[in-house]
Amino acid sequence: MTVNIKPPVRREAMRIAGKLVSTDDMLEVRNPYDNTVVGLIPAARPEHVRDAFAKAKAFKPKLTRYERQQILQKTAELLRDRKDEFARLITAEAGLCWKDSLYEASRAYDVWSFAAQLTIKDDGEMFACDISPNGKARKIFTTRQPLLGVISAITPFNHPLNMVSHKLAPAIATNNRLVLKPTELTPLTALALADVLYEAGLPPEMLSVVTGNPSTMGDAMITDPDADLVTFTGSVRVGKHIANTAGYKRIVLELGGNDPLIVMEDADLDKAAELAVTGATKNSGQRCTAVKRILVVESVADAFSKLVVEKARKLKCGDPMDPETDVGTVINERSAQLFEARVEDAVRHGARVLHGAPRQGALFHPTVVDHVPYDCELVHEETFGPVIPIVRCPNDIAAVIAISNSTAYGLSSGICTNRMDYASRFVAELEVGTVNIWEVPGYRIEMSPFGGIKDSGLGYKEGVVEAMKSFTNVKTWSQPWTA
């Protein structure tokens, strides 16, 4: 049964230090499934961005740990109480299916409530100095302080609520001020989240949300003189542009991936096939840590690919508004066309399509492709959709590791083996930020360190604990009293 869970068209304003600010020029936000307009957002000019940073910089946050904990926990609870409302917005603007959107809303609760719990933890360290002949009777302490300037946060479309939450919650937990630029593709959820924060008691000067076309106002977010740190989640292309443009500023870049799921000959193939299909298709395959390549050793590849097809056939792909749907649309038709072209290219290079259905607009059905050459574009680049590509590898762990490491990315990985010697080698030798044994690459809790190396990022981690560290300055101080 399809239920109407689409909100009416929302005519939005930016939130600049809590004030609603609009522009004559508005951008449309479209539902990827039926292409209807679901929202209109202001197209900010660089001066709007400047104004937001200046207002943030002029405000000095004075919230105690207790007050921050209360705001963060209240936000978590409001999100939990309104999860249907948020899921409706996510499905409307991103085309993600209702099941995925509900899951996203429940993950956001975790982000905010973990941040609330971590806020009241003491953050300092202590060093006694009388520990060597060079020491003396003193003590050194550290304390973490908010940045002197403002955080510039830029977020992608694929998790409209969760990616934004991963920037905002740790920033507020550490008493920072932010200017957020959500993607122009899914900005409505971020604007609704800002309202929840104001309602929960956040001083409005601590958070502004600006919207618009990145070609007009993107650089203003990166180069503003009051921005101390740019935290960005998105594509490698834009991440490298930020790295080249930001100048003398801290940057935290969480970029793309093409994560492998590795299946060795001893693996329980049914369990491995389940991880492969779920990992490649959840969130319409649009997770930075989605399974984007399945590296399976040749000796079990026939049996494994049969199981993958059986499981992929059970997925219902279609109207994202239908609560029974497992896979909604990808973000837009242009992306779906790109995936289609990449599958065709793989076929030209010897791959075989074992399951799929014709594309309908932005609806790209889960597509199982076997015998994919490890170096063709479908798996060598990041294919951000529900393709399930099987790459057959020699029966040799060294060759599997070499193939896995052969791309520019290094985000995460999933491993299907029970052999400890294999597991140890994968942990030691895969060039990635995470290795999950018997789990999808995307498995994590919202607090654990998360992030990639190589083109996937500069090695700084996200996750609430690590983000709270990167959003603070460590001050070291010492005193002569030692008791």
**Rounded CA separation 205/18 (Å):** 7
Provide, rounded to whole angstroms, the least separation between the CB of residue 339 and ligand NAD.
Answer: 13
Between residues 163 and 435, which has the closer beta carbon with respect to ligand NAD?
A: 163
Between residues 96 and 255, which has the closer beta carbon with respect to ligand NAD?
A: 255
- Sole binder of ligand NAD in the list 238, 296, 346, 354 (CB under 6 A): 238
Between residues 87 and 255, which has the closer beta carbon with respect to ligand NAD?
A: 255
Dump strand ranges (E) for 438-480. Answer: 472-479
340 annotated as a binding-site residue: no
221 lies in the binding site for ligand NAD (CB under 6 A):
yes
182 annotated as a binding-site residue: yes
156 annotated as a binding-site residue: yes
183 annotated as a binding-site residue: yes
Between residues 230 and 363, which has the closer beta carbon with respect to ligand NAD?
A: 230
Which phi-psi region, left, alpha or beta, contains residue 76 (left: φ > 0; alpha: ψ -120 to 50)? alpha
CA distance between the termini of the chain: 70
181 annotated as a binding-site residue: yes
**Could you say which of 12, 97, 288, 416 is catalytic?**
288
85 annotated as a binding-site residue: no
Amino acid at position 245, single letter: T
Annotated catalytic, 317? Answer: no
**Could you say which of 254, 439, 446, 462 is catalytic?**
254
- Give the CA distances from residue 417 to residues 24, 304, 329, 374, in Å, rounded to whole numbers and listed in that order: 58, 14, 32, 21
**Rounded CA separation 376/298 (Å):** 18
DSSP secondary structure, 311-354, as one string: HHHT--BS-TTSTT-SB---S-HHHHHHHHHHHHHHHHTT-EEE
Annotated catalytic, 340? Answer: no
The SS3 assignment for 11 reads: strand
100 lies in the binding site for ligand NAD (CB under 6 A):
no
Between residues 71 and 435, which has the closer beta carbon with respect to ligand NAD?
A: 435
Provide, rounded to whole angstroms, the least separation between the CB of residue 479 and ligand NAD.
Answer: 40
Amino acid at position 195, single letter: D
Q: Which residues of 8-27 are buried (b: 16+ CB within 10 A; e: fewer)?
A: eebebbbbbbbeebebeebb
Provide, rounded to whole angstroms, the least separation between the CB of residue 304 and ligand NAD.
Answer: 26
Pick the closest to residue 439 from 216, 206, 235, 262 (CA basis). Answer: 262
**Rounded CA separation 177/147 (Å):** 9
434 lies in the binding site for ligand NAD (CB under 6 A):
no
Stretch that binds ligand NAD, among 10-18, 117-125, 181-189, 369-377 (CB under 6 A): 181-189
361 lies in the binding site for ligand NAD (CB under 6 A):
no
Binding map of ligand NAD across residues 127-156, x = CB under 6 A, - = no contact: ---------------------------xxx
DSSP secondary structure, 55-89, as one string: HHHH------HHHHHHHHHHHHHHHHHTHHHHHHH
448 lies in the binding site for ligand NAD (CB under 6 A):
no
Between residues 304 and 450, which has the closer beta carbon with respect to ligand NAD?
A: 450
The SS3 assignment for 263 reads: strand
Instruction: Tokens 């100095």: give the residue.
Output: 129
Task: Report the interface residues with ligand NAD, using CB under 6 A.
Answer: 154-158, 163, 181, 183-184, 214, 218-219, 221-222, 233-235, 238, 241, 254-257, 288, 382, 384, 411, 452
**Which residues participate in the annotated binding site for NAD(+)?**
155-157, 181-184, 235, 382
Active site residues: 254, 288
